[in-house]
């Protein structure tokens, strides 16, 4: 027999508690389950809670010994907590979900499911109830290049619905764009997943980005995983053009929706001060792919032997706070004549599995020089991570196993922020894709 939802409880604010075996403490505002009332309805019950990524924390209780197991499955793996008490409060759910990323941004929601059968399954209907109660529904549009990533994002939660755009061109090459059922997104939370992989695709995507907020939507979010001009954020000589500022000004002209300024989600922008390049009509939300790397490193067989290396001081300043529990190695670039040579500044790579970390990789020349240096100093293995694998002109081939050139990288992790690169390197060692889908799904519910 399928699980029957007999009550909803909320961990913080908002909805009232249904009087079906649940009570709220006047002292500490906690929620508890009245065991006797639940027992009258079913011999077993399951308490299910969903976070903003639609992962489930389950509390499954049977009334032999009053022992409740709370399982939280998040970025850090599975965590088990046992509660030997006659009540399950929302505090238990909160503690179980402490392992989740970004959970603090939403109220904790839970559903009480009961059945007269011996076994209980909390089906997708319970999660759907939670999605409707604790999450906003998001209509996600996407560019041609980001369709695969958009589908992975939508698979993370039932609260994100994919919407199509008809992309076409006129005879002269200019875009012909149509949004089907535009009336259907009125009063909806709308997002667009962009990819500015080349100057040629920016205009057509800006056309839809400027149009969607004006369609009477409740709010508008632009997800631009890779901000392509981020490395050109300052002038070194008079006459240099900081194109990062140019692109920021273009995005700052996005119209304000009914819900206010546009939320702009970017992952690991090259320089954090670029936040101040945007105008008041855009709210930059800077996210990072480093948590994905940390999770992957903890899964390695030699996880305890991992050291983090930074190819230059800029990368160290950018990421060291997020990786400070790993032993660190810092490299630096020095000029010798017309050449820039990588030297060791700090740390000892001898006998360690060293992972070089940077925000992006273009030709990969610096990473290769850094790998050679670390190997010469005794590193047992060298891997690399970059949030954005740009790799213009198929530069990734320099790292592929079985190709001419250096083969010294055990692993090369990139995210799927650059969709064209992902399609090229998928399944080719040493590359491994760490998907941003879960992180983007979470950001859409902020």
Supply the DSSP string of 249-309, one letter for each residue: HHHHTSPPBTTBSEEEEEES-S-GGGGGGS-TTEEEEEE-SHHHHHHHHHTSTTGGGEEEE
CATH architecture of 138-287: 3-Layer(aba) Sandwich (3.40)
Give the separation between CA 251 and CA 248, rounded to whole angstroms. Answer: 5
The better pLDDT of the pair 30, 153 is held by 153
The phi, psi pair for 158, rounded to 5°, reads -75, -10
409-415 and 381-389 as β-strands: parallel, antiparallel, unpaired?
parallel
The phi, psi pair for 437, rounded to 5°, reads -55, -50
- Cβ-contact 192, 142 below 8 angstroms: yes
pLDDT given at position 241: 83
- Cβ-contact 124, 159 below 8 angstroms: no
| H/E stretch holding 111 | strand 109-115
Give the separation between CA 436 and CA 230, rounded to whole angstroms. Answer: 19
pLDDT at 344 over 70: yes
| 14-36 mean pLDDT | 41
Place of tokens 């009053």: 66
Residue 267's pLDDT band (cuts 50, 70, 90): very high
Residue 60's pLDDT band (cuts 50, 70, 90): very low
Give the separation between CA 147 and CA 149, rounded to whole angstroms. Answer: 6
pLDDT given at position 178: 98
pLDDT at 65 over 80: no
Structure tokens at 16: 């009232």
Give the separation between CA 37 and CA 39, rounded to whole angstroms. Answer: 5
pLDDT at 72 over 80: no
Structure tokens at 56: 């489930």
pLDDT at 77 over 60: no
CA dihedral 300, 306, 309, 315 (to 10 degrees): 60
Residues written for the chain:
446
CATH of domain 290-435: 3.40.50.2020
pLDDT given at position 2: 35
End-to-end CA distance of the chain: 36
Residue 237's pLDDT band (cuts 50, 70, 90): confident
Residue 408's pLDDT band (cuts 50, 70, 90): confident
Cα angle value 429/436/254 (rounded, 5°):
130
Burial classification of residue 173, based on how many CB atoms lie within 10 Å of its CB (0-12 exposed, 13-18 middle, 19 or more buried): exposed
pLDDT given at position 229: 87
Cα angle value 204/226/107 (rounded, 5°):
105
pLDDT given at position 8: 33
- Global pTM value: 0.70
pLDDT given at position 132: 40
Cα angle value 394/395/401 (rounded, 5°):
95
Residue 407's pLDDT band (cuts 50, 70, 90): low
Burial classification of residue 170, based on how many CB atoms lie within 10 Å of its CB (0-12 exposed, 13-18 middle, 19 or more buried): exposed
Percent of the chain with pLDDT over 70: 67
Q: Given this chain, do its domains 138-287 and 290-435 carry the same CATH topology?
A: yes
pLDDT at 385 over 70: yes
Domain ranges of the chain: 4-134, 138-287, 290-435
pLDDT at 57 over 60: no
């Amino acid at each position: 027999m399928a699980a029957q939802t007999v009550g909803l409880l909320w961990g913080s604010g908002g909805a009232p508690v249904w009087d079906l075996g649940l009570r709220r403490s006047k002292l500490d505002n906690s929620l508890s389950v009245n065991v006797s009332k639940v027992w009258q309805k079913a011999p077993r019950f399951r308490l299910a809670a969903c976070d903003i990524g639609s992962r489930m924390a389950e509390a499954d209780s049977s009334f032999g010994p009053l022992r409740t197991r709370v399982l939280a499955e998040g970025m850090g793996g599975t965590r088990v907590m046992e509660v030997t008490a006659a009540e399950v409060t929302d505090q238990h759910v909160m503690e179980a979900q402490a392992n989740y990323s970004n959970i603090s941004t939403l109220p904790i929601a839970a559903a009480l499911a009961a059945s007269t059968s011996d076994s209980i399954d909390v089906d997708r209907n319970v999660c759907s109830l939670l999605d409707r109660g604790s999450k906003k529904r998001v209509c996600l549009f996407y560019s041609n290049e980001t369709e695969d990533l958009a589908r992975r994002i939508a698979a993370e939660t039932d609260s994100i619905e994919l919407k199509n755009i008809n992309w076409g061109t006129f005879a002269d090459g200019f875009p012909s764009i149509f949004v089907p059922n535009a009336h259907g997104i009125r009063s909806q939370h709308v997002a667009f997943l962009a990819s500015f992989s080349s100057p040629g695709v920016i205009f057509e995507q800006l056309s839809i980005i400027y149009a969607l907020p004006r369609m009477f939507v409740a709010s508008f979010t632009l997800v631009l995983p890779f901000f392509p001009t981020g490395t050109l954020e300052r002038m070194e000589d008079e006459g240099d053009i900081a194109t990062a500022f140019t692109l920021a000004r273009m995005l700052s002209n996005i119209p304000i929706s009914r819900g206010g300024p546009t939320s702009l989600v970017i992952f690991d922008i090259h320089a954090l001060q670029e936040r101040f390049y945007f105008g008041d009509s855009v709210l930059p939300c800077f996210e990072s792919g480093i948590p994905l790397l940390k999770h992957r490193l903890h899964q390695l067989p030699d996880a305890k032997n991992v050291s983090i290396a930074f190819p230059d001081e800029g990368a160290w300043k950018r990421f060291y706070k997020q990786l400070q529990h790993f032993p660190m190695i810092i490299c630096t670039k020095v000029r010798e004549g017309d050449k820039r040579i990588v030297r060791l500044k700090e740390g000892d790579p001898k006998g360690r599995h060293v992972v070089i970390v940077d925000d992006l990789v273009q030709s990969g020349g610096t990473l290769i020089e850094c790998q050679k240096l670390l190997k010469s100093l005794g590193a047992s293995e060298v891997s690399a991570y970059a949030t954005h694998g740009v790799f213009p002109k198929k530069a990734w081939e320099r790292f592929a196993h079985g190709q001419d050139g250096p083969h010294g990288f055990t692993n090369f992790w990139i995210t799927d922020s650059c969709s064209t690169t992902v399609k090229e390197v998928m399944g080719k060692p040493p590359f491994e894709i760490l998907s941003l889908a879960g992180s983007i799904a979470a950001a859409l519910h902020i």
